[in-house]
Structure formats: C-alpha cells, structure tokens
Amino acid sequence: MMRHGRLGILALSALALAGCNGIQSPLDPGGPQAQDLARLFWTFTAVLAAIWLAVMVALGFSLRRRRPADADPLATDPARERRFTAVVAGLSVATGVTVLGLTGLSYATQKRLFTVEPEAVSIRITGHQWWWEVRYEEPDASRTFTTANEIHVPVGQPVKVKLNSADVIHSFWVPSLMGKQDLIPGRENDISFVTERPGIYRGQCAEFCGFQHAHMGILVVAEPQDAFDRWRNAQIKAANPPSDPEREKGQQAFLSKPCIMCHTVRGTPASGKVGPELTHVASRWYLAAGTLPMSRGNLAAWIIDPHGIKPGVNMPLIKLEPDELNAIAAFLEGLK
Ligand code: CUA
C-alpha cells in the first residue's frame, strides 16, 4: 500500500512537472517578458511556501505542548502575555512587510513588461469567434498584408501587437512569451514582446468567448531575420496561380461558390472579409485556429464538415460534388 502511495506521488509530480515545459508554458520562457513573469512566479512560490512551512512547524510545536493536568485554565502569567503580544505584533509587521514587498516586486515587473523598445514589427490582431485576424502593418502600404491564426516574428526584435475585437471579448495569451492582454470591442490594447530563440510557440484565447473558445489557438513562429524577411515577402505577394489542371478546376469551383463571400484570395475575385484570409493558407501549420494540422485531407474534411469538427462555427456548409471538394482542397493546398 505504502509503495503504491509513493508511486502515485511520483507519478503525480511527474505529471505536474510535465506542465513546466513545452511550447505553451509560462514556466518555459522564450523571451525576456516571459522570463520576468516566470521569475515573479517562482519568487512568490518560494516566499509563500517558506511561510506556509513556518506556520505548519509552529502549529506542530504548539499542538505537542501540553499544560499540566492540574493547571488552572483561567490563570494568567503577565510575563508570558507580554511575550505573546510582542510575538503577535512582530509577526503582524512581518506579514505587512511581506505583502508590501511582493506588491512592489509585482509592480516593478509589470512596469518592465510595458517598457519595451520601439517595435521592429507591428502587428494588428482582431479577435473573431473563433479565430485571429492578423494584419502586418508598415508605413509603406504596399507592404501591409493580412493573414490569420499564425504570426511570424524575427528573433531578438521587439514586436508590438495591437489588439481589438470584432465581436466579444477575447484574450491574447502566448504563455511562453508574455502575459495576457484582452481584445475588447471598440477599444485598442497592445502588448509587446521579444523572442530569444527560434522556435514555435502556441497561444490560446484566454477569455471565455463562446462555444469554441477552446479551439481558438494561435501560433507564433520565431525565426532568424532572413527567414522572417523571406516569409514576409512571400505573404505580401498575391496567391500562386494554380499549378495543374486539378487545382485550376478547384479554383474555378471555389470562385463559383459562396466561399468568396467570406474569404479573400488575393489575385482572384475572392475578396470576402468575414472569414480568415486564404491567400497563403497552406503556408500555415494549422487550420481552423489550431484545430487541425494543415494537409489536403484536413482541408477537405474541414470544408465538408465544419460543424462536426468545430460545432457552432460560423463557416456554413456548402453543397459540393465529391470531385469539386477534392479539386477545391487541391487548389487550397496549392496556396503556399
Ligand atoms: Cu476567443 Cu476565447
């Protein structure tokens, strides 16, 4: 029994620690802002754990102390009373100092989080039920473009993200990189961050925003400056023209269906603004805001059954013949 108990504790601690690293953990920081937050977390944990331990030890001692059986329960000892008063007063002051100290630390960290150097990359993110509209802004309008659900950033460069919402309140949170910031309709918030190493970080909407709140993921791809420049230059371009007859057929089918009422594919007449931009949809890692890995099969599955995969989603079901479905999936898969 004892052995099982120990094994259980071991398994539980392993499980708990497994949450401390990975692509979506505030305890596995990928940049200075997340490091500040992780440091704050560990400081709070250490101080509070030490206080809890001290209280438990003191409690243990006092429970073990016994009064002699014949002692008068109402008798008081003035010297002892004075000692107790001093101890209680001292501990009250210590509590105040600890709380003030932790508040000061928290305030200093927050101040550092919001003083980031002028940004090298400026991104505007608009929250939708349930996906992220992403706009890369530049003073030169011809270099501004829109994408969705995945942002790329150059390693080591400050990135500023401006946030607002098209419908309800969402919250932008990439735990390995920064704290949370809300996306509020009719109001602009912002948050800045720097990444320290190349990698992929996963973010998640952190404010309950309806049925598919859990399927509102975002990916941050941090890459060296030259890779980022290549990505940005590719995203600015219009969509690749279909490279084979099937994709050609798929494009025609796509353009003849209501798909174009909601989606934009730059370089074609499709210019809807309701759903995610699809100009380079196949260059992304995931489909439907982190719900499915990108592949031709999943593109087809998503088009044929959006409500089975993400119940409540706004994407309507479009009637398609099987060969049209395959052709459209092939066309979309060509949009790298
Ligand atoms: Cu958007 Cu939760």
Cα 307 to ligand 1 centroid, rounded to whole Å: 18
**Residue of the nearest CA to atom 1 in ligand 1?**
170
20 — pLDDT class (breaks 50, 70, 90): low
Give percent of the chain with pLDDT exceeding 90: 79
Instruction: Reply yes or no on whether the pLDDT at 7 is more than 80.
Output: no
Cα 207 to ligand 1 centroid, rounded to whole Å: 5
Instruction: Reply yes or no on whether the pLDDT at 13 is more than 90.
Output: no
pLDDT at 11: 66
Instruction: Reply yes or no on whether the pLDDT at 24 is more than 70.
Output: yes
Measure the N-to-C terminal CA separation of the chain; round to a whole number of Å. 58
Distance in angstroms (rounded) separating the CA atoms of residues 171 and 183: 5
Atom of ligand 1 nearest to the CA of 207: 2
Cα 16 to ligand 1 centroid, rounded to whole Å: 25
Give percent of the chain with pLDDT exceeding 70: 94
Instruction: Reply yes or no on whether the pLDDT at 73 is more than 90.
Output: no
Q: What is the mean pLDDT of the chain?
A: 91
Q: Which of 113 and 229 is assigned the larger pLDDT?
A: 229
Q: Which of 128 and 8 is assigned the larger pLDDT?
A: 128
Instruction: Reply yes or no on whether the pLDDT at 304 is more than 90.
Output: yes
Cα 156 to ligand 1 centroid, rounded to whole Å: 28
pLDDT at 44: 96
Atom of ligand 1 nearest to the CA of 129: 1
Cα 208 to ligand 1 centroid, rounded to whole Å: 5
Average pLDDT over residues 108-132: 90
Atom of ligand 1 nearest to the CA of 130: 1
Instruction: Reply yes or no on whether the pLDDT at 96 is more than 80.
Output: yes
Cα 181 to ligand 1 centroid, rounded to whole Å: 12
pLDDT at 5: 65
Average pLDDT over residues 137-152: 94
Contacts (Cβ under 8 Å, ≥6 apart) of 98: 47, 51
68 — pLDDT class (breaks 50, 70, 90): confident
pLDDT at 77: 83
Cα 28 to ligand 1 centroid, rounded to whole Å: 23
Atom of ligand 1 nearest to the CA of 210: 2
Q: Looking at the DSSP assignment, which residues form a beta bridge with residue 151?
A: 220
Are the C-beta atoms of residues 302 and 282 closer than 8 Å to each other? Answer: no
Cα 174 to ligand 1 centroid, rounded to whole Å: 13
Atom of ligand 1 nearest to the CA of 205: 2
Instruction: Reply yes or no on whether the pLDDT at 66 is more than 70.
Output: yes
The pLDDT tens digits for 213-261 are: 999 999 999 999 999 999 999 999 999 999 899 999 999 999 999 999 9
Question: In this structure, are strands 159-165 and 121-128 parallel, antiparallel, or unpaired?
Answer: parallel
Instruction: Reply yes or no on whether the pLDDT at 1 is more than 60.
Output: no
pLDDT at 292: 94
pLDDT at 47: 95
Cα 280 to ligand 1 centroid, rounded to whole Å: 24
Cα 334 to ligand 1 centroid, rounded to whole Å: 30
The pLDDT tens digits for 30-39 are: 999 999 999 9
Atom of ligand 1 nearest to the CA of 169: 1
Instruction: Reply yes or no on whether the pLDDT at 62 is more than 90.
Output: no
Instruction: Reply yes or no on whether the pLDDT at 9 is more than 80.
Output: no
Q: Looking at the DSSP assignment, which residues form a beta bridge with residue 147?
A: 134
Report the pocket of ligand 1 as residue ranges, CB < 6 Å.
127, 130, 170, 205, 207-209, 213, 216
Atom of ligand 1 nearest to the CA of 170: 1
Instruction: Reply yes or no on whether the pLDDT at 57 is more than 60.
Output: yes
Long-range (24+ apart) CB contacts under 8 A made by 56-63 are none
pLDDT at 286: 95
Atom of ligand 1 nearest to the CA of 206: 2
pLDDT at 334: 94
